[in-house]
Structure formats: C-alpha cells, structure tokens
Structure 1
Amino acid sequence: MTSEVLATYEKIAGLTNQMVMAAQSSDWDSLDRMENQCAAASVALMGGAAPLQGDARQRKIDLLKQILANDRAIREVTEPWQSRLNG
C-alpha cells in the first residue's frame, strides 16, 4: 500500500508541474484537463491508508511541498487572469 500511496503523490506532483507550464503558456485547455486528472488521482488518497513511516513519510512530505509550490505558481498566473475576467 505504501508504494501505491507514494505513486499517487508522485503522479499528482508530476501533473501539477505540467500544470505550471500550461498556465505559464496560457494553455487553459491542458490546464483544465490536468486539473481533472489531479482531482481523480486525489480520490485514491481518501481511502484512509495507514500513516507512512521513515523514508516513505519523508518522501510524502517532500512531494506535498512540491505540490504546494506548484499550486502557488499556478495561482500566480491564474489569479490575475481570473480577476480580469471577473472585473
């Protein structure tokens, strides 16, 4: 189960990295598609797996930091764009 959980976090981290690039290049269709893929992958993490220990726990923390940094980078591009649409 540990490897499945980490594989899911790896997938989400990779997708969010691609989402940053899509946002920076104004590829909104790809961004939307990958956002849906992230949401689908996140569902697998809601099963309540046992807490990770040791190296696996640290890898999960590193992946979460990467995902959050990617999210911040995406928002830096999209929030001003969305404000212009709503304004």
Structure 2
Amino acid sequence: MAVITDQMLRAANDNDWDRLTQLEQQCALHVRQLKEHEPQPLAGAARVKKVDAIRRMLAADRQIRDLTTPWMARLSALISNTSTERRVARAYGI
C-alpha cells in the first residue's frame, strides 16, 4: 500500500486525476484484502517497519488532499456554473 500511496502522490503532483482514481481503487482493494485476512500482530523490526510505512502513507495522503482540494473546488464551481447556465437556458427557452 505504501508503494501505491507514493504513486498516488506522484499522480496528484502531475495533475493526472485519472491515474489517481485508478490507484485509489487499487489501494481500496488492498484495504479490503487486509481486513479479510486480519494479519497477525507484528513485533520488533517488522512492527517498526509497518509503523514507518503507515506514517509515510498518512503524510502522502495529507499532501494528496492538499493538492486535490483546490482542484475539487474548481470542479465544483464549474459544475455549479454549468447547472446555472442550463437552468437559465430552460427558464428563458434559450
């Protein structure tokens, strides 16, 4: 999952929203698989490695949100403007 999360961050940095969506789906699949198989608790170096990977994923997730939030706001505004234009056109028979 950490590798996928790194790829998601690169896609977001590149404004490659289609790739980001594909990678999000892959990540969700991994999460479902992990939940189904309930891995055994880790100890020692394996636990430290897992904690480090989780921290990296959370940091990447934060950066992805920082990149996608403005894009989503612009998209929402565009959709809103298009909807308004359609309502006006219908109201006035344009």
| Normalised-by-shorter TM-score class | 0.7 to 0.9
User: Which TM-score applies when normalising by structure 1?
Assistant: 0.81
- For 2:56 and 2:64, locate their aligned partners in 1 and report how far apart those are by CA, in whole Å: 12
Structure 1 segment 5-84 matched on structure 2, within 5 A: 12-46=1-35, 47-84=37-74
- For 2:68 and 2:26, locate their aligned partners in 1 and report how far apart those are by CA, in whole Å: 18
Indicate the structure (1 or 2) with the bigger Cα radius of gyration: 2
Q: Which runs of 4+ in 1 moved over 3 A?
A: none
Give a deviation string over 1:26-83, Cα, whole Å, max 9, x none: 1111000000000001112113222111111111100000100110111110011112
- What RMSD, in angstroms, separates the aligned Cα atoms of the two structures? 1.0
The total of aligned residue pairs comes to 76
Give the share of equivalent positions with the same residue, in percent. Answer: 43
User: Which TM-score applies when normalising by structure 2?
Assistant: 0.75
Which stretches in structure 1 are left out of the alignment for 5+ residues? 1-11
Which stretches in structure 2 are left out of the alignment for 5+ residues? 78-94
